[in-house]
Amino acid sequence: GLTKVIGDHAPDAIKESEIKNYFGRKVAVDASMSIYQFLIAVRQQDGMQLTNEAGETTSHLMGMFYRTVRMMENGIKPVYVFDGKPPTLKSGELKKRGEKRAEAQKEADAAIEAGDAENADKFSRRTVKVLPEHNEECQKLLKLMGVPFIKAPCEAEAQCAALAKAGKVFGSGSEDMDTLTFESPVLLRHLTFSEARKMPIREINLAKALEGLGMNMDQFIDLCILLGCDYCDSIKGIGPTRAVALIKEHGSLEKVLDKLDPKKFPIPEDWPYQAARELFKRPDVTDPETINV
């Protein structure tokens, strides 16, 4: 939703460029998001994850190694940021993800049983979960490579945004658009994709996005909540176009909710938009000034 909203209202905020154009830049990379990608994408020809002789998964390590080398070859200095404890508000989202994984596992098992290799591969990729040992093994690898990493107290993308906002790094590398909601001035997407995918880096500039949308940061946060985020469901019947129009017309979620017809747009019970807003505005992060990157 948010990518399209920015593309429609602030096309100048998004530019595509080659990885080599970031030579000499420090970038805070959302490690947990990257590891998740590697576990899904780094596979053998038969679609199975890479493993060592002991049968342990190594897809995350191969991905982390080669993508980090690619960044460094192009003069980028990555600083990886690992997730800490998820905020309580995220428990609903995490529960949903768990249910989706269980469902995918059932589908994968059925496909294997039926000898349907294509669906077995498709659904097994949806069962991927980043485990503490994946994080620990990647941290060990980064240590051996001499690449800096940080363990965030809470959400990795919030810590990436804090580092970028403080000028410690040029921008945040993540696929998670929430990184902008945490006020990262620059978001770089596709940074940890493989070279084979030939995807240009997509750079999103927050100031230009706000200008194009005609909103301030508070309104942008409210818009992101209205579009649906990890901490809050969206409101049924309110799509991106309507969400933008409502925030622009009324200026804040409180005023939007005042004016909405609950029969037409039922607001979910216990809709914690204020807590979500607080989380975006004052996330639990380590003070960037105490971090040496």
Domain boundaries, the chain: 14-211, 215-281
Using DSSP, how many helices (H) and how many strands (E) does the chain show?
Answer: 13, 7
176: pLDDT strictly greater than 70:
yes
According to the model, what pLDDT value does residue 90 have?
64
Return the minimum-mean-pLDDT range out of 10-14, 63-67, 241-245, 259-263.
259-263
- In whole angstroms, what is the distance from residue 145 CA to residue 161 CA? 24
According to the model, what pLDDT value does residue 108 have?
67
Burial of 125 (0-12, 13-18, 19+ CB in 10 A): middle
According to the model, what pLDDT value does residue 43 have?
75
More confident call, 112 vs 241: 241
Helix then strand then coil, % of the chain, to nearest 5:
55, 10, 35
- In whole angstroms, what is the distance from residue 266 CA to residue 124 CA? 35
89: pLDDT strictly greater than 70:
no
Q: What is the pLDDT of residues 262-283, one digit of tens each?
A: 777 777 777 888 888 999 999 9
74: pLDDT strictly greater than 80:
yes
Q: Which CATH superfamily is domain 215-281 in?
A: 5' to 3' exonuclease, C-terminal subdomain (1.10.150.20)
- In whole angstroms, what is the distance from residue 220 CA to residue 204 CA? 14
Return the minimum-mean-pLDDT range out of 62-71, 82-91, 193-202.
82-91
Q: What angle do CA 174, 13, 74 make, to 5 degrees?
A: 50
Contact of 14 with 7, CB cutoff 8 Å: yes
Contact of 7 with 1, CB cutoff 8 Å: no
> Span 185-195, mean pLDDT?
89
- In whole angstroms, what is the distance from residue 55 CA to residue 78 CA? 30
Maximum alpha-carbon separation in the chain: 62
Q: Which CATH superfamily is domain 14-211 in?
A: 5'-nuclease (3.40.50.1010)
Give me the percent of the chain exceeding a pLDDT of 90: 48
According to the model, what pLDDT value does residue 210 have?
96
